[in-house]
A and B are shown apart, each in its own frame.
Chain A
C-alpha cells in the first residue's frame, strides 16, 4: 500500500514516497528556502497543508490538492490586529477539522495563539477566547519561543479541542473554542516562583491515543499520560528511562498502551544520551519501557528529534518514523523492534507525518 512521508524542514518541505515501506524516494521538494514547521494530510478531501514560515516574509499556510505538486498559500487574517503587542511570527501546527465541517482548519502559532479557518486556509480568524483566559499572564517564551505547537480535536466530539503551549500549558475547550479549561494538574514548572502553578508549564508534544480520553504528553519536565481527557496526568517517566527530557511522542494507531518517546540528555544538552540514538517504547501505557536501538546510530550521534519528528503509520504492523535535526529519517516497519536509515542529508527536520494512501 503506497505511503507518503510528509516532512517539514528548515529549508522547505519534502514528500517521500514508498510503494511497500522497503524502497523510498523523494518525489517533491516544495517552498525551498522557507522553514516548514509542519505538513499534514487532510483525510476529508486528500489535501495537504503546510505551515510555511520566514523570519523575513512572515508566516503563511499553504494547501495542495494534488499531493504536493502545486500549492496555494495565504495568511489573510493570521494577525492579532493593530492594537496588539503580540505578533504572529510563525505557524507551528495545523490540524484539519472534523468531517462534519469541511474546510475547517486550525492553526497554532507563535506568539502563542489559535486561529481557525473555515475555507481550507484561505482566510483565518483569531480564537480570542484562549488568549483571554485569566492564566495567560503565566505564559512565557520557551526555548523555541512562546508557541502553540499542539492542536488536537477529539475524533468522538468535534467541539472538544486541546491545545498545548510552550511555555503555557495544556488547555481544553469543550465548546468548539468558545471557552477553555486549564489542565496542568500534577505537572510542575520548576523555573517559576511557585513550581506547581496552574499554568505556565512547557508542553512539547501532545498526542491522542486510540482510546477515549487518553493522551500522551512530552513535557519539558517529563513524560505524562492522561486517561481523563487531560483532567489529571500520571507521571510515566519516573523510572526506567535515562532522561525524561525530550520533544516528541508517537502513539500506536490501534493500541492505546503503546507509545514512543526519544529521551534527550537534558534541556541544556539537547541530544540523545551518550550520543547513541534510542527510541523508547512502552507497551503498557508507560509503566515499563523498552530501549530500541537495532539499526539506530550508536556512536557520535549528536542529534535531536524535535517535537513533531516522530510519527507512526496506520499499517499492520505499525511503522514508526523518526526525523532528526541532522536531516536523517529512520524507519521501523515492525513497531520499533528494528530500524533502517531511509533518507539522509535533508535540512534539519522539524516534522514527519506518515500517510497511508
Chain B
C-alpha cells in the first residue's frame, strides 16, 4: 500500500491538492521524487541542495524522520513547516 502523505497547507494551495496524497516509495527521498514527478517543482519547495529546507520537518508514523528514513507500507508521512520565532535560520 502507498504511504499517506500530508503536506503543509501552503503547498497544498500552491498545487491545489486534496490531502492526503497516496504516494509509493521506500524512503522519504523516494516519496519526494515521486511527488516532484507528479507536481513539478515540489521537490524544490521541500529540499535545498541535498537536504531538507531548514524549516521543513518530516515525520513517518509520527516519528521524526529524515530524507533517508525508510517508509513502511501504509505509513503516514507528514511534512511540517516548523514554527520558529523571528529568525531566518534555525
> How many angstroms between the C-alpha atoms of A76 and B40 in the bound complex?
10
Any chain B CB within 8 A of the CB of A74?
yes
Does A82 lie within 8 Å of B45, measured CB to CB? no
Any chain B CB within 8 A of the CB of A54?
yes
Does B49 lie within 8 Å of A33, measured CB to CB? no
**Which chain A residues border B48 with CB–CB below 8 Å?**
58, 87
Give the distance to chain B from A70, nearest Cβ to Cβ, in Å.
11
Any chain A CB within 8 A of the CB of B37?
no
Any chain B CB within 8 A of the CB of A60?
yes
Any chain A CB within 8 A of the CB of B81?
yes
Does A33 lie within 8 Å of B53, measured CB to CB? no
Give the distance to chain A from B39, nearest Cβ to Cβ, in Å.
11
> How many angstroms between the C-alpha atoms of A76 and B45 in the bound complex?
11
> How many angstroms between the C-alpha atoms of A41 and B8 in the bound complex?
31
Bits for B1-42, please: 1 = Cβ < 8 Å to A, else 0: 000000010110110000000000000000000000000110
Any chain A CB within 8 A of the CB of B56?
yes
Instruction: Give B10's nearest chain A residue, CB to CB.
Output: A33
Name the interface size band of chain A.
Answer: 10 to 19
**Which chain A residues border B81 with CB–CB below 8 Å?**
56-57
**Residue among B45, B46, B82 with max Cβ neighbours from chain A (10 Å):** B45
Count: A-B pairs, CB below 8 Å: 41
Any chain A CB within 8 A of the CB of B74?
no
Docked complex: A3-52 residues within 8 A CB-CB of B: 31-34
Bits for A268-297, please: 1 = Cβ < 8 Å to B, else 0: 000000000000000000000000000000
Does A54 lie within 8 Å of B10, measured CB to CB? yes
**Which chain A residues border B56 with CB–CB below 8 Å?**
56
Per DSSP, chain A at the interface is loop
Does B88 lie within 8 Å of A55, measured CB to CB? yes
**Which chain B residues border A75 with CB–CB below 8 Å?**
41, 44
Any chain B CB within 8 A of the CB of A181?
no
**Which chain B residues border A55 with CB–CB below 8 Å?**
55, 88
Any chain A CB within 8 A of the CB of B50?
yes
> How many angstroms between the C-alpha atoms of A82 and B49 in the bound complex?
6
Does B45 lie within 8 Å of A32, measured CB to CB? no
**Which chain A residues border B41 with CB–CB below 8 Å?**
60, 73-76
Does A57 lie within 8 Å of B45, measured CB to CB? yes
Does A58 lie within 8 Å of B53, measured CB to CB? yes
Give the distance to chain B from A136, nearest Cβ to Cβ, in Å.
22
Does B13 lie within 8 Å of A57, measured CB to CB? no
> How many angstroms between the C-alpha atoms of A56 and B56 in the bound complex?
7
Give the distance to chain A from B31, nearest Cβ to Cβ, in Å.
17
Does A58 lie within 8 Å of B45, measured CB to CB? yes
Instruction: Give B46's nearest chain A residue, CB to CB.
Output: A57
Give the distance to chain B from A55, nearest Cβ to Cβ, in Å.
6
Does A32 lie within 8 Å of B13, measured CB to CB? yes
Instruction: Give A32's nearest chain B residue, CB to CB.
Output: B13
> How many angstroms between the C-alpha atoms of A74 and B10 in the bound complex?
16
Q: Contacts A55-B88, A60-B44 hold; do A82 and B50 have CB atoms under 8 A apart? A: yes
Does A57 lie within 8 Å of B10, measured CB to CB? yes
**Which chain B residues border A54 with CB–CB below 8 Å?**
10
> How many angstroms between the C-alpha atoms of A291 and B65 in the bound complex?
59
Give the distance to chain A from B17, nearest Cβ to Cβ, in Å.
14
Q: Provide a sorted-by-A list of 5 A–B residue pairs whose CB atoms are within 8 angstroms.
A: A33-B10, A57-B10, A58-B45, A75-B41, A82-B49
